[in-house]
Amino acid sequence: MIKKLRKGVLPVAGLGTRFLPATKATAKEMLPVVDKPLIQYAIEEARAAGIEQFCMVTGRGKTALVEYFDVAYELEHTLRERDKTEALAILATTHSEPGSITTVRQQVPLGLGHAIWCARAFIGDDPFAILLPDDLILADQPCLAQLVEGYYETGGNIVAVTEVPREQTNRYGILKVGHDDGRLIEVTGLVEKPEPKDAPSNLSIIGRYILMPEVIKYLALMDRGAGGEVQLTDAMAKLIGQQPFHGMRYKGRRFDCGDKIGYLEAQVAFALKRSDLADAVRAILKNYV
């Protein structure tokens, strides 16, 4: 029997050094794309996929991420007094159910695998999703919702994948593939950041995962992989052969918002999808291109 997916983990402890000085006093996940911060896009995508409980793996200086989803009593009171109903409706989208968001601290930056291990008490014996807010995906059907459909078809572990230029395989976790029907791909192996000549394919994992809780026992070994860090990819590889493991070619466009160019492109793409902004944005772009 396939267990219902209700839990989501969001690793948000990173320092955001590629966006200094903006991230000196602001969490990178609070950087806005148009008018919503990256963390809100991630939470909304998770909710659309049926996730009900969230764990943010945070670090020092990240309290704003939790406060953002709290009720801002003073602000909302002032808006009511001024009859700002539209602004109140926008604020309502940032509210969370009481008790639905918890946090744990990753006190030392030992990698993504270590961050997920820090959420072990929250995960318990349940399947869980992982969403990396830096990966922002523009899609008609939210990316995680696509993965959830695949999860209920196959059971076990499933990750979102995309093709990357072969010369860039040393930046990503890369799949070794078995049966491939064009949508769901049997994963027979995983390699973290292989050199192009050693890469088993050019199919890369992006920041959306559905994993079984058994991955935690392998993360707990604290084995160091690429970059001297505890790599999630290495722990996931140990599940292959024990549990179903698939990749999914999701429908949508990914923007790497941990990179300046990816972040700027996301601003343009998301603004152009807005009926209230698209015409003005096109006019602005014509002045520069």
The closest of 157, 131, 105, 127 to 38, measured between CA atoms, is 131
pLDDT of 185 reads: 93
The per-residue DSSP string of 46-115 comes to: HHHTT--EEEEEE-TT-HHHHHTTS--HHHHHHHHHTT-HHHHHHHHTT---TTSEEEEE--S---HHHH
80-99 pLDDT, tens digit per residue, is 989 999 989 988 888 888 88
Cα atoms in the 13 Å half-sphere on the side-chain side of 214: 13
Q: Which residue has the higher pLDDT, 98 or 117?
A: 117
pLDDT of 40 reads: 95
pLDDT of 2 reads: 86
Among the ranges given (69-73, 114-118, 273-277), the one the predictor scored with the smallest mean pLDDT:
69-73
The closest of 118, 101, 1, 113 to 57, measured between CA atoms, is 118
pLDDT of 57 reads: 96
pTM: 0.92
Beta bridge partners of 204: 162, 174
Question: Spelled out in words, what is the top-level CATH class assigned to the domain 7-286?
Answer: alpha beta
Check whether the bond before 98 is cis (ω within 30° of 0).
no
pLDDT of 232 reads: 93
Mean pLDDT value of segment 212-238: 90
Mean pLDDT value of segment 238-267: 94
CB atoms inside a 10 Å sphere around CB 99? 7
pLDDT of 191 reads: 85
3-13 pLDDT, tens digit per residue, is 999 999 999 99
pLDDT grade, residue 224 (50/70/90)?
A: confident
pLDDT of 29 reads: 93
pLDDT of 22 reads: 87
DSSP 255: E
